[in-house]
Structure 1
């Protein structure tokens, strides 16, 4: 079982309705992206963290580590706002005192939106999300491709971890030259093995009489009226609170 699905099945929200969780997740994302600045994004981020850690009871270290990955990409864009380059008396680099005011709002919005998506991803198995999407009208081809791609990505990730561990045991990452060679060999090996796995998957589907649709028996929990109300009320309350503060 993929690690994300395992975490979702172990969370305290595993029995909640998929539709309610999707509405809550995308509601928080929409509030973070389009709510009034500057309060909406911090409110959404704080609320999402509270829901993830205290209500859904997700592993705090894992959730924060996953959230730190996009935060690292966001921090790399800060020099664009904080530094000014001048050419009047030769090339000069100065600190823009108002740059942080320009950088902080989009950074918080992006981080809050990612936190909302992580809340949905870590509490809802992908198979249930795809079944929900199919019921909402997504084409069967799209949901089937998404399911196969999701499965293949985790298979390739497992192969990459196994190969890197094997190279490390043989001191394949001792020194930058040997490390570069090991990484290139690992990438080349993964390319060949992933193509081979894809061909085997295609052959297996053809042998089972694949006709363009993968029937999947997945029962998604029904969303209760209370869960629908909560999914609507939380993002709406955050927006009203942000609008009410001058």
Structure 2
């Protein structure tokens, strides 16, 4: 099981309705995307961290480990804003550093908002409710199947890597490259085989285009729902107040 799933199932907000948590995380996400990047993005990121680590009590280590890969992708992707390409070759882009900082700020805040929702809400609580909405059942089922296949593929990769390490497949750079190539080929074949067996299993069970799934009844409490928009409103209020103060000064 992924670390995000473990945190979601162990979250104190596990029994909260997904709609209320979507309002909370969605309000912060809108703040990250719509407010001025400075100081809106840092304020939204800090408030999201406070909500996640304080109110939702998400484990800090799990939160930071889950954010590590997206943040690395954001930083490396933003490097392209620093460089311009023309007929004379490569050069520093005018205003590129400012633009890169704005993109990094918005993206970091947005990632934190999404992790807040993902690490407090199991996917099993979200997809069945989405499937009940008209026209969204197919999308929910495809998302669920892809998520399941992703978990299976990751488990397969870990098992193959452990087997390669036990057979001294990482003792040198040459053997490591051979192990990586073998790993990619084996995962590719096994993924297609598992997908074929999954399709056959659904067909044998009389799949007709929809899956009947039982959904736990979760309370949509008025107090939590009333407090859910508050972090986003606080972020917007602080940003507008600081922006006005800087403008006046």
TM-score with structure 1 setting the length: 0.89
Distance 2:141 2:93 in 1: 50
* Structure 2 match to 1:55: 55
In 1, distance between residues paired with 2:87 and 2:148? 52
Counterpart of 1:131 (choices 109, 125, 128) is: 128
Q: Deviations over 1:138-162 (max 9, x none)?
A: 5211111111111111011001001
Higher mean Cα deviation, 73-82 or 106-115? Answer: 73-82
Structure 1's unaligned 5+ residue stretches are: none
CA contact (8 A) 2:78 2:103 kept: no
1:151 maps to 2:148: yes
Partner Cα separation in structure 1 for residue 13 and residue 33 of structure 2:
25
Indicate conservation of the 8 Å contact 1:12/1:55, yes or no.
Answer: no
Separation in 1 of the partners of 2:128 and 2:157? 29
In the TM superposition, what are the counterparts of 1:94-173 in structure 2 within 5 Å?
99-173=96-170
Query: Are the aligned partners of 2:4 and 2:66 in contact in 1 as well (CA < 8 Å)?
Result: no
Contact 1:18 1:222 in 2 (8 A): no
CA gap of 1:150–1:92, structure 2 versus 1, over 3 A, is closer
Deviation (angstroms), 1:233: 2.2
State the distance in 2 between where 1:190 and 1:77 align: 28
Q: How many residues align?
A: 243
C-alpha displacement at 1:24, in angstroms? 1.2
Q: Following TM superposition, by how much is the alpha carbon of 1:179 offset from its aligned partner in structure 2, in angstroms? A: 1.1
* Structure 1 residue 131: Cα displacement: 2.2
Gaps of 5+ in 2: 245-249
Q: 1:242 to 1:215 in 2, by over 3 A?
A: same
What is the aligned partner in structure 1 of residue 208 from structure 2? 211
C-alpha root-mean-square deviation of aligned residues, in Å? 2.2
Q: Distance in 1 between matches of 2:200 and 2:87?
A: 62
Counterpart contact for 2:81–2:93, Cα < 8 Å:
no
Match of 2:74 in 1: 74
Instruction: For 2:34 and 2:151, locate their aligned partners in 1 and report how far apart those are by CA, in whole Å.
Output: 33
Q: TM-score, normalised by structure 2?
A: 0.88
Partner Cα distance (2:125, 2:225) in 1: 17
**SS of the counterpart of 1:77?**
helix
- Answering whether residue 28 of structure 2 is matched by residue 28 of structure 1, we say yes
8 Å Cα contact 1:35/1:239 also seen in 2: yes
Tell me which residue corresponds to 1:12: 12
Aligned pair partner of 1:243 in 221, 240, 243 = 240
Q: SS at the partner of 1:152?
A: helix
Report the secondary structure of 1:162's partner residue: helix
| 3-state SS of 1:39 partner | helix
**Superposed displacement of residue 181, structure 1:** 1.1
**1:18-76 deviations in whole A, cap 9, x for unaligned?**
11011111221111011123121111111111111122222211211221212212222
Structure 2: distance between partners of 1:211 and 1:86: 55
Report the Cα distance in structure 2 between the residues aligned to 1:33 and 1:148, rounded to whole angstroms: 30
For 2:90 and 2:120, the matched residues in 1 are separated by 49
The 2-side partners of 1:134 and 1:84 are apart by 46
Q: Does 1:229 align with 2:226?
A: yes
